[in-house]
Amino acid sequence: MTEQLSLPGLIRALGRGKKGSRNLTRAEAHYAMSSILDGTMTQAQLGALLMLMRVKEETPEEIAGLVDACHDALPHPEMNRVDVNWPAYAGKKKQPSWYLLAARLLADNGIRVLLHGGGEHTAGRQYARQICPLINIQVVDTLDSAADVVNQQGIAYIAVKDVLPVMSDLIDMKAELGLRSPVNTLVRHLNPLNARLTLQGMFHPPYMAIHHEAAILLGQQQNIVMKGDGGEFEVRPDSDTRIAVSDQSEPMTLPPVFNQRAVRPDQVQAEPLTELWNETEHNSYGEAAVCQTAALVLSQLEGLPIETAKQQTLNWWQNRGAL
């Protein structure tokens, strides 16, 4: 093993101080993640690596290398086609998970969606795994099952612990370390079923460029990064929504639907989701969030002008069946 590709060597490269430290190359990041996945990295090395990368801020090249190693470790089920890879890790704090109704709407109209998430460790947040059974999105526990259910039903949810168990353990280390780590960035780039369109929702603006550039390095030819509501991939219809797409060098802004900010609930609840879908309670904000989010996905997936995609998703919404 060369000094360059040794774990102490990588930690030393990251931690030499202001003048002596440097970023990892893509190959070095791949080696580091491979060492985590195969269990050869010690807990001391793991904590040092994650926190040193966090303090300096992970680079797109590092994220690409970490993701490369994860994809190398994944099984590859046989299946026909997946259209959209939809990570859901942040959890919603105020507004309900309208993005899940958007995913449901797309799936009901022939667009195959895989949702994945994890890290449900923050009290008071609403996570995808909790909501999916309420809106007829099946939760599965293997990638083979995910492939089968997506083929049959158009949509499925799988927890990251059932894709790569180590990833779930690393996310949960936030409670022990007190900080998020680069793992929170990389899981949003996992594409377990090799979908055509990849999505990344994020909250902190500096991470938009990191996600966007990492997606390009990873060859995600159809990709959208969004500063979404609560950090999930969900358009806010009452404010500007910043997005970056893979074929454009600069971020763009989706204008709001409403002229003023909506009153945000004090506490996130599940009932408004089923009430809106089943038309037992109207919610103009929720309807706009669902349709705007679905339209953005459809626009990028099929190469449609955004106004055409909005009209199509509105037609789908008006003709939806009950849950």
Cβ-Cβ contacts under 8 Å for 133 (sequence gap 6 or more): 139
Collapsing DSSP to helix, strand or coil, 68 comes out as helix
What is the average per-residue pLDDT within 169-185?
89
pTM over 0.85: yes
User: 200: helix, coil or strand?
Assistant: strand
Rounded to an integer, the average pLDDT of 137-159 is 96
Please write the tens of the pLDDT for every residue from 96-114. 999 999 999 999 999 999 9
Burial classification of residue 241, based on how many CB atoms lie within 10 Å of its CB (0-12 exposed, 13-18 middle, 19 or more buried) = buried
| CATH fold of the domain at 84-318 | Pyrimidine Nucleoside Phosphorylase; Chain A, domain 2 (3.40.1030)
Q: Where are the domains of the chain?
A: 7-56, 84-318
What span, in angstroms and rounded, lies between the C-alpha atoms of 282 and 6?
Answer: 58
- The distance of Cα 74 from the centroid of its chain, to the nearest Å, equals 17
Question: pLDDT confidence of 120, banded at 50, 70, 90?
Answer: confident
Q: What is the pLDDT of residue 2?
A: 44
**250-286 residue pLDDT tens:** 889 999 999 999 888 889 999 999 999 999 999 999 9
Average pLDDT, the chain: 94
Q: Which helix (H) or strand (E) holds 305?
A: none
13-27, 70-84, 219-233: least confidently modelled range: 70-84
**Cβ contact 245:300 at 8 Å:** yes
Burial status of residue 206 (CB atoms within 10 A of its CB: 0-12, 13-18, 19 or more): exposed
Amino acid letter, 284: S
Report the side by side order of strands in the sheet with 252-254: 139-140, 155-159, 113-117, 84-88, 197-202, 222-227, 241-245, 252-254
Model pLDDT, residue 79:
72
**Residue 230 pLDDT exceeds 90:** yes
**Please, what's the b/e burial string for 244-274 (b: 16 or more CB within 10 A of its CB; e: otherwise)?**
bbbeeeebeebebbeeeebeeeeebeeebbb
Q: What is the pLDDT of residue 3?
A: 52
Say what the pLDDT of residue 217 is. 96
- Helix (H) / strand (E) containing 199: strand 197-202
- CB under 8 Å to 1, separation ≥6 — which residues? none
